[in-house]
């Protein structure tokens, strides 16, 4: 699928603000893919569709999680997590994208997972550091991303966990497991 067609499809699903965010994620993902050797076309496609289900009604997302036998514990955590796995499902069903790598990058862009692929890391990080994001810690992660993908990823996951803890919100287990996996398997220079 070409960029223009993908952006047209996704624009119909998003607010203007979220569409601008999506374009920023796309541009950042392409840059990170070039820098770290990921497939640029897959990075572009996953970035375009990463928030495809962001504004679907919560009841619709809940129904898909149940009917498609997604991990039921998703329903016990903040509904902000739901759009990622539901989005991967809907992108395949409604848009016809079947590339498992692209779908997994969409599926795990909010929670991460142990053993993340290079493409999954690129999309997770691109979503976190795209130019429209402004929150404490994002500049540090942007700088780290220029030097080392895993170091930037670790810092972004740390920041996310700390943010949720400060708000007294539960942290999805995959996010903790992602952090532990990244720390445990970090390459030693």
- In the chain, what are the domains? 3-134 (1.10.3210.10)
Please identify which residue in the block is written with the tokens 């979503």. 127
Percentage with pLDDT > 90 across the chain = 97
Exposed (0-12), middle (13-18) or buried (19+): which is 170, by Cβ within 10 Å? exposed
Q: Please determine, for residue 85, whether its predicted confidence score (pLDDT) is greater than 80.
A: yes
Q: Please determine, for residue 188, whether its predicted confidence score (pLDDT) is greater than 70.
A: no
Report the C-alpha gap between 87 and 95 in whole angstroms. 11
Dihedral (Cα; 17, 101, 42, 35), 10-degree rounding = 90
User: What pLDDT score was predicted for residue 187?
Assistant: 57
Residue 172: partners with Cβ closer than 8 Å, 6 or more residues away: 74, 77, 78, 81, 111
């Amino acid at each position: 699928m070409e960029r223009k067609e993908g952006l047209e499809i996704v624009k119909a699903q998003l607010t203007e603000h979220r569409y601008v965010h999506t374009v920023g994620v796309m541009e950042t993902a392409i840059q990170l893919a070039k820098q770290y050797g990921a497939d640029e076309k897959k990075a572009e496609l996953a970035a375009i569709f990463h928030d495809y289900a962001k504004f679907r009604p919560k009841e619709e997302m809940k129904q898909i999680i149940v009917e498609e036998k997604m991990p039921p514990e998703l329903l016990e955590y903040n509904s902000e997590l739901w759009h990622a796995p539901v989005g991967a499902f809907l992108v395949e069903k409604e848009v016809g994208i079947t590339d498992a790598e692209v779908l997994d990058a969409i599926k795990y862009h909010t929670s991460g997972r142990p053993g993340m692929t290079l493409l999954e890391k690129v999309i997770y990080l691109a979503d976190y550091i795209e130019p429209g994001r402004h929150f404490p810690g994002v500049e540090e992660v942007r700088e780290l991303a220029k030097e080392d993908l895993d170091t930037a990823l670790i810092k972004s996951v740390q920041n996310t966990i700390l943010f949720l803890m400060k708000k007294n919100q539960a942290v999805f287990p995959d996010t903790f497991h992602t952090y532990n996996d990244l720390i445990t398997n970090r390459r030693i220079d």
